[in-house]
Amino acid sequence: MGESNLLPDILSEAFLTEHERDLVNIVSGPLLQEISHARHKHGPGNTPQNAEMPTWKKLAILVEEVGEVAEALQDEKAKSLERELMQVAAMALLWYASLR
């Protein structure tokens, strides 16, 4: 993932609108916290970022998180929904990173 040094350029005004930069600022902290939490809880090799993990297992992890979003919707708990959505985003991002 040698492209991480491009992040400041991508976040510059030339690439993102003010609204898009606000969105990045809103989600980046919680997203990075969730990624860190998942790595700590499961170990770095047990997240979808592991390129050696079978695709079916990555999908199972992601689908499990989506199922937890559905449960949060049924319970109508906003904080729980936010947390579960962030977990979906984190697992999807880690899977994406494994493809790079």
Buried b / exposed e over 58-84, threshold 16 CB at 10 Å, is beebbeebeebbeebeeeeeeeebeeb
Specify the pLDDT at position 33: 93
**Domain count of the fold of the chain:** 1
Specify the pLDDT at position 84: 94
CA–CA gap between residue 61 and residue 50 (Å, rounded): 12
Cβ neighbours of 6 (radius 10 Å)? 10
DSSP code of residue 76: T
Specify the pLDDT at position 44: 77
pTM of the model: 0.78
Its domain, for residue 34, covers 2-98
CA–CA gap between residue 95 and residue 80 (Å, rounded): 23
Reading the chain (100 residues) residue by residue, the pLDDT tens digits are 444 455 555 556 567 788 887 888 888 889 999 999 999 999 878 999 999 999 999 999 999 999 999 999 998 888 899 999 999 999 999 999 999 8
